[in-house]
Amino acid sequence: MSLDHLLQRADVWRGGRLTAAASAVPSGYSELDTLLPGGGWPQGALTEILMPRQGIGALRLLMPALAQLSHDDRWICWVAPPHIPYAPALVSAGVDLSRVLLVHPGARQDGLWAVEQSLRSGNCSAVLAWPTLDDAGVMRRLQLAAEAGDALGFLFRAERFAKRPSPAALRIQLDTHTDGNLSVSILKRRGGWAAGPVHLDTSLQYGALALHSRATTAAGCFQPRQQ
Amino acid sequence: MPQLPLDVFSRGSSEPQPLAVSHSGRRSSVLLCNPAAHARGIQPGISVAAARALAHDLIIQPRDLNAERAALHALAAWSYQFSSQVSLYPPDALLLEVQGSFTLFGGWPALLDKVRCGLAGLGYLTRLAGAPTPLAALSLARCNSEQHIEAHQQLAAALSPLPVSVLDWEQVLIDRLDGMGVRQLGDLLRLPRDGLARRFGQQSLLYLDRMLGRCPHPQELYQPPQTFRRRLQLPAEVGQAQALLFALQRLLLELCGWLGGQGAGVQRVDVCLQHREQRVTRVSLETRKPGRDSEQLTSLFRERLERLELPLPVIEVELCADEVLALDADSPDLFGSSGKPERLNLLDHLRARLGDGAVTGISAVAEHRPEYAWRYTDPGDSRTDNNGRQRPLWLLSVARPLKTRNGRPQLHGELQLETGRERIESGWWDGKDVARDYYIATNPAGSSYWVYRELTGEQGWYLQGVFE
């Protein structure tokens, strides 16, 4: 029997070939997972995260899933992040830093190219990007690349893009709820109508230290007590 | 390889420009020409002057015997992946013992297919024939008779129609045969042995016996070189870096075939682009793991060439691989081209286009000063020190001064400070000492930030990070 024939047999498993992957990765927030098809972030697809401003916890929302994915042997690729992903915080969130890949492209075109390559390569479990461009053709390419590479593509975008059509499999809109929790509305999901919002306490994901330990004397609390 | 003198030039370009190779002798005439030249009415045998008159843009290259010799050696090295018994039959033939390779490659048709496709990819026109004896296979191939003779008994019948000119005999002997009316091998094989030996010598009889398998024919086996170094002369000057990819791909295919024969891979490939006046441009490529996937290497070089500005047109491409590494047993491309190609290594791909510094990993550092508590690393090379304190996921590369109103820090409205001040005083030993009080702060819109107040000097407020 020749090597070629041998390789064509169905019962021969070959290293380097991807096994069929689960269709979703749990977000780590059960209230959210119940609303998401497959019970989590869609695998091999784009997820668009629309946010009104920074600092409301868009990254924290992903941390349980990224921590989980960092035990995979594939990269978690951050393409042109707006700030430095802070290593101590990632460690606190349970992310294995040795799986974190940062790409610093020079030009915007290179950035989109890097996002597409990373999604398509099959070397990445997740790809995070902050595209400012509004181009349906580009988004379509990225969605196809995510399918080809079986990657979770997270695109963080400004809220104003919510009205634009998008080929992303999942679109969620974030806001801050009055109680300080993160409000997540689902604008688009596979096999379902828009849903939400759900209110998530993302601070709990850090365990020991709660983020919203706001002082009760809110009004004049900027003057710190001397310790 | 019936067109070797032409192929050594034409394989360097995908342009269908008319190309002819002229005899190196004093009376200059066309030896071979490509289809584009043929379409203009140029034929082998016509004078170079006449050929030029037929096609003004005709490129004429004098025959380059050195290039042909080098090509033959390179092809022998490439063929080594199919058989460890390769012999050179200059000027234009190679002999491979393939009986032992049938099991591995799936029999004659499958093997033939692989060799033919491979050689076409390298840019050579080939005639492939198989027979139980070396001389029979060579004779069939030289006569464009692409047969596969499996049994010794069939040899005489298969060889009989071939002209006697196919024999590697001195021209006087061929002429003598012609004078006797012996035109085909069949006629020759019918002559009585003793008479043949008397008139043409014992050597001629031995030749025929070897051809028909009546006596063994030991071969001088080719030994492939230990390093790879190949030049490809371009038929015409190339001014665009991307147009070099075609020629480069030919060389990469040669390289990977040679590596296949060695059971090895490379991690570094150097390309030297030769310009006029001895000037050169060098392009090197390093990958994370040793490999021999020509598609991957071509793809990586495509990225490189897209970024390359050529100072002058290129006349010759040289490819070198000096360091050959054993391939890991678990390398996915162990199966070579027979299986699905390995997914392109993302890191190599990104670095080829964006530069080495554009792709990093990230590590935590045991350090009190927040701005020094992390660093970029090589991807995958990280430490996970963690002081257990709450830290924001975004760190600003440079802390940003915050405006204050009535002494209170502002960022899209007034910032509310959370309880739990963290004092960081450190770095007195290296002159970059800090003395700061850190707070988590929230603005009216609900965004959370990591801010600090200097304990010295102006006691200003700064934004250090974002709790995204």
Domain boundaries, chain A: 49-215
Same domain, B174 and B256: no
Q: Look up the ipTM and state it.
A: 0.80
pLDDT of A1 reads 56
Same domain, B244 and B350: yes
Same domain, B422 and B453: yes
Using a CB-CB cut-off of 8 Å, the residues of chain B touching A121 are 343-346, 349
CA angle A201, A207, A211 (to 5 degrees): 50
Examine residue B373 and state whether it is found in any structural domain, yes or no: no
Distance CA B422, CA B401 (A): 19
Q: What band does B6 get if pLDDT is binned at 50, 70 and 90?
A: very high
Q: Give the chain B residue whose CA is nearest to the CA of A97.
A: B382
Same domain, B199 and B243: no
| Helix segments in B55-167, DSSP class H | 65-79, 102-105, 107-122, 134-142, 155-159
Asked if B447's CB is within 8 angstroms of A53's CB, the reply is yes
Range of B283's domain? Answer: 228-357
Query: Torsion over CA of B177, B180, B182 and B188, rounded to 10 degrees?
Result: -70
Count of domains forming chain B: 4
Nearest 5°: phi and psi at B440? -90, 130
Examine residue B219 and state whether it is found in any structural domain, yes or no: no
End-to-end CA distance of chain B: 66
pLDDT of A8 reads 58
Same domain, B76 and B161: yes
Same domain, B342 and B399: no
State which amino acid sits at residue B237. E
- Contact of A172 with A32, CB cutoff 8 Å: no
Examine residue B374 and state whether it is found in any structural domain, yes or no: no
Same domain, B73 and B204: yes
The model carries a pTM of: 0.65
Same domain, B316 and B405: no
pLDDT, chain B, mean: 88
pLDDT tens per residue across span B126-144: 999 999 999 999 999 999 8
- Contact of A78 with A128, CB cutoff 8 Å: yes
Task: Indicate the fold that domain A49-215 takes in CATH.
Answer: Rossmann fold (3.40.50)
Asked if A114's CB is within 8 angstroms of B373's CB, the reply is no
| Single residue among B145, B177, B211 that ends a domain in this structure | B211
pLDDT tens per residue across span B80-137: 989 889 999 988 999 999 988 888 888 889 999 999 999 999 999 999 999 999 999 9
CATH of the domain at B326: 3.30.1490.100
Same domain, B56 and B106: no
| Single residue among B47, B63, B79 that ends a domain in this structure | B63
| Single residue among B357, B374, B406 that ends a domain in this structure | B357
Select from B82, B103, B390 the residue whose CB has the most chain A CBs within 10 Å, as the one to mutate to test that interface.
B390
Examine residue B218 and state whether it is found in any structural domain, yes or no: no
Q: Give the chain A residue whose CA is nearest to the CA of B353.
A: A110
pLDDT of A136 reads 82
Examine residue B367 and state whether it is found in any structural domain, yes or no: no
Examine residue B365 and state whether it is found in any structural domain, yes or no: no
Query: Residue B43's CB: how many other CB atoms inside 10 A?
Result: 14
Please compute Rg for chain A using Cα positions: 20
Examine residue B344 and state whether it is found in any structural domain, yes or no: yes
Nearest CA among A33, A44, A28 for reference residue A152: A44
Same domain, B101 and B58: no
- Of A7, A85, A102, which is closest to B338 when you measure between CB atoms? A7
pLDDT of B247 reads 92
Per-residue pLDDT of chain A (227 residues; tens, 9 = 90+): 566 665 555 455 444 433 333 489 999 998 899 888 888 999 999 999 999 999 999 999 999 999 999 998 899 999 999 999 999 999 999 999 999 999 999 877 789 999 999 999 999 999 999 998 878 888 999 999 999 999 999 999 999 998 888 899 999 999 988 777 899 999 988 877 788 788 888 774 443 333 333 333 333 333 333 33
Same domain, B318 and B405: no
Examine residue B438 and state whether it is found in any structural domain, yes or no: yes
